[in-house]
Chain A
Amino acid sequence: MSENLPEAHDASHGTALVSHDDPFADPGLPAHEPRRTDIDERAAKRAERQVSLMFVVSMLATIGFIASYASIDADKIVYIFPLGHVSALNFALGMTLGVALFCIGAGAVHWARTLMSDHELPAERHPIEADDDVRNDVIEQFKTGAAESGFGRRKMIRNTLIGSMALVPLSGVVLLRDLGPLPEKKLLHTGWDKATQSSPIKLVNMNTDEPMKPEDIVQGSLTFAKPEGLEESAEDFQQQIAKDALMIVRIAPGDIKDAESRDKGFEGILAYSKICTHVGCPISLYEQQTHHALCPCHQSTFDLADGARVIFGPAGHPLPQLKITTDEQGFLIATGDFDEPVGPSYWERPR
């Protein structure tokens, strides 16, 4: 029954005596060595006082916690070296709570280590596996039960049961359908798709909320823009801005390497999607000398002078570019949507 448990060592058992034949034999449990507190009553008393002291400190700290809660204002800021300026209430509550809890723990552990018995005791292990009698008995009982159910004999019942059990979880999956709408063409279009030749949409500066003129845009600068009419208070603002956000750069037309990209812009002003094509972080870092834009999330780097081609990092395709021009008043406008979906790529995304 116990052959399942290996011997601790080739020839030794827990109580084996040291023999000259086996220099590595187990000498058995060592004798208990008394601690100072076991033999010196004064040391024991001292340990007792130490444990109690810690419990008393805990009590005081809890009182301190309650006092801090009642007396310190939530917005009071204090300077504590080396932490700097911190919330007085948070610091006081945290430290008193910490001390109150820690001292209970330290007291209990100190008590256990100095005053409670430290005799090591052995306990027997038993194999996890049942012995053969039990095993055979259970298998026999199971067989009886299985035979009485007729599960193995009535194949039709068995197979249809398996079939129905396999299908029934589908109801749960189907019920999840109304969690959200179907994708349809939603990811294909942005808010700019309402713009047409006859009713264009103005580009609005994200910070000033003003329509933009070409002369407002300095060469080498990076400006963020949104479609006119998209207000922050709109119900679906978050959803819209996640797709519509633009990054406006002005590059000397001669420096623009990609002719198609230059044609989509206006006098060197180019409007790219601000949403990274990797997993959708907004791109915000621009290096005006090299015209490189970097996404701070995963460092995909795009060359805005070369059709926003990916030159480093994990993004798989260039940033989509919005075709822009100006209207009669000289404001920058868009007359249509991006040529391709913005943001991360997905299975249905045309390439």
Chain B
Amino acid sequence: MSSASGTKNSASKPASTRGNPANKAEAAADWVDGRVGIYSLAKANLRKIFPDHWSFMLGEICLYSFIIIILTGVYLTLFFTPSMAETVYHGSYLPLNGIRMSEAYASTLDISFEVRGGLLIRQIHHWAALVFVAAMLVHMMRVFFTGAFRKPREINWVFGFLLLVLGMFDGFFGYSLPDDLLSGTGIRFMEGAILAVPLVGTYIQMFLFGGEFPGTDIIPRFFTIHVLLIPGIMLGLLVAHLILVFYHKHTQWAGPGKTEKNVVGMPLMPVYMAKAGGFFFLVFGIIAAISAIATINPIWAVGPYRPDQVSTDAQPDWYMGFSEGLIRIMPGWEISVWGGHTLNLGVMVPLAVFPLVLVAIAVWPFIESWVTGDKREHHILDRPRNAPVRTAFGAAWISLYLILLVGGGNDLFATHLHLSINTITYAVRVGFFVVPVLTFIVTKRWCLGLQRRDKDKVLHGRESGVIKRLPHGEFVEVHTPLSQKDLHSLTAHEQPQPLELPAETDENGVARKAGVITKTRVKLSEGFYGEGNQIAKPTTEEYHEITSGHGHH
């Protein structure tokens, strides 16, 4: 197992004190060990090695904000009434006095104005949810751009992806619970989307809402989904995710002493325990302070939901903004099919594209490994520049996400930038197709440029800024050669070669044709690693040729 324990132990082992423990702690540990075997468990993990890099804390932020959401969520359930029964408000928020509203909305007002600290917990819950989804997205991008999803971690990539999707939907359900004007508008949007499902749309709608919109069942049902069903699944996925992280051990960057066969870093106890444990409090503290300073979702300002009222600026939380963008930029196509039936393409198409945008990123690890045919484990991370096509695809995906976010907030962009809302919508329609392609091209070029620069640095050293005059009068800039550490780190990456079509005849001279699949794979592989998609890294010969000469510069 982990050889981390072998640091400065003396050769002689201390005698076991099991029968006669040295202190109370040892005695307690012995007692527990006799029941659940903690010594064997701790032997492997107490001094488990964790590599250090700032980007590894992104996943920690996800975990900690999830814990914060659960803690504050439990508190909120103690005060929240998930009911659409009507009541007339008589509370301390005077502007809404005497107004008819649901008990869900009234109890949210009470949490905000009557329960001491209730507003703070509500704000922490909402802020932590935003941080949670944002951290998951950024964490996922970290894993993506560094190639940390490669074998053996593909399953964990899928778990993480599912956590992101579930997190997004749980955020939507939670946002809907207070039954304020904005959340009701969101639910109405969902109803319209469900109605657009061909054949069974109206049936799903009736079953989900317990009748016609809005009915009285939707809030209690969402409540159960929001606090029980989805968090339960997420908790299971999260535990599985963490077990796999523990089992695979962390990835690490290439560097001196770091190989595919080891993991270099600090032990869990004490350093990582203190750092990670402390980091939980940092995250919690910062979210608490943000919640004290910045109001989020002030439901009292928009009033209770009524289906015939709406406020401008109706916006979902940012992580759902891309779906809102899809629905806003889609032309309103409706067609008649099979004798009087209506197919609402204007809503159905965005609904179908929504999962496609997400799944595109979920299936990438499988596409990449299929294209490379690489069946080995990978633990050393790729620098994004060294995998230009992957990096370019990721950047294109993010640009699509962002362009749809602009579409989802087109009214805000219109009012803040004094632009025509129609122009923004038309621009986003074009941008949906054009921007990802441009982003792909630019990012790939950029990566190749950076690869060239790395190659230059390895072969010629770093520019020192010192100008030297040679005996014959020429001025040259002195280049400082790189340290062995940098030379190694900059050349440690692999450069896979593209696949080639199999020979047209086999060893017996019998003609065999490559199938469509093989041909596609070869073409894709060419697109990944072929000429023009990576800069050949410096070879030993090149290095010797340049450095052995005179006045290397």
- Contact in complex: A280, B346 (CB < 8 Å): no
Q: Provide the main secondary structure of the chain A interface.
A: loop
- Contact in complex: A27, B485 (CB < 8 Å): yes
B431 interfacial contact with A, CB 8 Å: no
- Contact in complex: B191, A280 (CB < 8 Å): yes
Q: C-beta contact mask, A1-45 vs B, less than 8 Å → 1, else 0?
A: 010111111001110001001111111111000000000000000
B267 interfacial contact with A, CB 8 Å: yes
B488: chain A residues at CB < 8 Å are 9, 12, 24-27
The segment from B28-36, B75-83, B110-118, B467-475 that touches chain A is: B110-118
Given contacts A297-B189, A344-B195, contact A30 B377 (CB under 8 A): no
Shortest CB-to-CB span from B351 to chain A, Å, is 11
A56 interfacial contact with B, CB 8 Å: no
| The residue from B49, B308, B543 contacting A24, defined by CB atoms under 8 A apart | B543
- Contact in complex: B202, A187 (CB < 8 Å): yes
- Contact in complex: B292, A91 (CB < 8 Å): yes
A50 to B3, CA, bound (A): 34
In the complex, the chain B residue whose C-beta lies closest to that of A117 is B271
| The residue from A23, A74, A176 contacting B540, defined by CB atoms under 8 A apart | A23
User: Which of A109, A122, A243, A350: most chain B Cβ within 10 A?
Assistant: A122
- Contact in complex: A345, B270 (CB < 8 Å): no
Given contacts A25-B488, A351-B334, contact A112 B271 (CB under 8 A): yes
User: Which of B274, B376, B485: most chain A Cβ within 10 A?
Assistant: B274
A154: chain B residues at CB < 8 Å are none
A226 to B309, CA, bound (A): 13
B256: chain A residues at CB < 8 Å are 26-30
Given contacts A102-B282, A346-B196, contact A120 B332 (CB under 8 A): no
Given contacts A74-B113, A98-B289, A182-B203, contact A314 B346 (CB under 8 A): yes
A348 interfacial contact with B, CB 8 Å: yes
B342 interfacial contact with A, CB 8 Å: yes
In the complex, the chain A residue whose C-beta lies closest to that of B119 is A90
In the complex, the chain A residue whose C-beta lies closest to that of B422 is A312
A74 to B114, CA, bound (A): 7
A238 interfacial contact with B, CB 8 Å: yes
| The residue from B217, B265, B344 contacting A346, defined by CB atoms under 8 A apart | B344
Shortest CB-to-CB span from A329 to chain B, Å, is 26
- Contact in complex: B346, A122 (CB < 8 Å): no
Given contacts A102-B286, A120-B266, A345-B342, contact A125 B260 (CB under 8 A): yes
User: Which of B7, B113, B267: most chain A Cβ within 10 A?
Assistant: B267
A9: chain B residues at CB < 8 Å are 254, 259, 488, 491-492
| The residue from A7, A25, A186, A347 contacting B341, defined by CB atoms under 8 A apart | A347
| The residue from A75, A111, A285, A300 contacting B312, defined by CB atoms under 8 A apart | A285
A89 interfacial contact with B, CB 8 Å: yes
B345: chain A residues at CB < 8 Å are 316
B278 interfacial contact with A, CB 8 Å: yes
B379: chain A residues at CB < 8 Å are 5, 125
Q: C-beta contact mask, B329-357 vs A, less than 8 Å → 1, else 0?
A: 11111101000111111110000000000
B120 interfacial contact with A, CB 8 Å: yes
B258 interfacial contact with A, CB 8 Å: yes
Given contacts A29-B257, A116-B270, A279-B192, contact A125 B202 (CB under 8 A): no
- Contact in complex: B332, A300 (CB < 8 Å): yes
- Contact in complex: B288, A97 (CB < 8 Å): yes
In the complex, the chain A residue whose C-beta lies closest to that of B547 is A23
- Contact in complex: A314, B331 (CB < 8 Å): yes
Given contacts A344-B191, A347-B198, contact A232 B100 (CB under 8 A): yes
In the complex, the chain B residue whose C-beta lies closest to that of A247 is B308
A278 to B152, CA, bound (A): 46
- Contact in complex: A112, B275 (CB < 8 Å): yes
In the complex, the chain B residue whose C-beta lies closest to that of A244 is B308
In the complex, the chain A residue whose C-beta lies closest to that of B484 is A27
In the complex, the chain A residue whose C-beta lies closest to that of B338 is A347
A21 to B543, CA, bound (A): 11
In the complex, the chain B residue whose C-beta lies closest to that of A232 is B100
Which chain B residues in 386-413 approach chain A with CB under 8 Å? Answer: 410-411
A241 interfacial contact with B, CB 8 Å: yes
A181 to B210, CA, bound (A): 7
A345: chain B residues at CB < 8 Å are 195-196, 334, 342, 344
- Contact in complex: A297, B120 (CB < 8 Å): no
B281 interfacial contact with A, CB 8 Å: yes
| The residue from B7, B259, B330 contacting A8, defined by CB atoms under 8 A apart | B259
Q: C-beta contact mask, B360-388 vs A, less than 8 Å → 1, else 0?
A: 00000000000000011111100000000
B104 interfacial contact with A, CB 8 Å: no
- Contact in complex: B259, A13 (CB < 8 Å): yes
Q: C-beta contact mask, A301-315 vs B, less than 8 Å → 1, else 0?
A: 000000000101111
B193: chain A residues at CB < 8 Å are 279
- Contact in complex: A121, B267 (CB < 8 Å): yes
A249 interfacial contact with B, CB 8 Å: no
A320 interfacial contact with B, CB 8 Å: no
| The residue from B7, B275, B289 contacting A102, defined by CB atoms under 8 A apart | B289
B492: chain A residues at CB < 8 Å are 8-9, 24, 26
| The residue from B189, B309, B344 contacting A316, defined by CB atoms under 8 A apart | B344
- Contact in complex: B259, A347 (CB < 8 Å): no
B227 interfacial contact with A, CB 8 Å: no
A162 interfacial contact with B, CB 8 Å: no
A205 interfacial contact with B, CB 8 Å: no
Which chain A residues in 258-313 approach chain B with CB under 8 Å? Answer: 274-275, 278-282, 284-285, 296-300, 310, 312-313
Shortest CB-to-CB span from B552 to chain A, Å, is 13
| The residue from A7, A109, A119, A183 contacting B260, defined by CB atoms under 8 A apart | A7
- Contact in complex: A5, B211 (CB < 8 Å): no
Given contacts A112-B270, A112-B271, A296-B311, contact A123 B7 (CB under 8 A): no
- Contact in complex: A23, B543 (CB < 8 Å): yes
User: Which of A69, A241, A242: most chain B Cβ within 10 A?
Assistant: A242
B319: chain A residues at CB < 8 Å are none
Shortest CB-to-CB span from B292 to chain A, Å, is 2
B280 interfacial contact with A, CB 8 Å: yes
A123 to B271, CA, bound (A): 16
- Contact in complex: A99, B285 (CB < 8 Å): yes
A29: chain B residues at CB < 8 Å are 256-257, 264
- Contact in complex: B307, A105 (CB < 8 Å): no
B205 interfacial contact with A, CB 8 Å: yes
> What are the 4 closest A-B residue pairs judged by CB atoms, nearest first?
A94-B292, A279-B192, A102-B285, A108-B278
Residues of A at under 8 Å CB distance from B? 2, 4-9, 12-14, 18, 21-30, 69, 74-75, 83, 86-87, 89-95, 97-109, 111-113, 116-125, 127-128, 176-177, 179-183, 186-187, 206, 224, 226, 232-233, 235, 238-239, 241-243, 245, 274-275, 278-282, 284-285, 296-300, 310, 312-317, 343-351
11 CB < 8 A contacts A-B: A25-B488, A74-B116, A103-B281, A108-B278, A183-B202, A245-B307, A298-B328, A315-B332, A317-B334, A351-B340, A351-B342
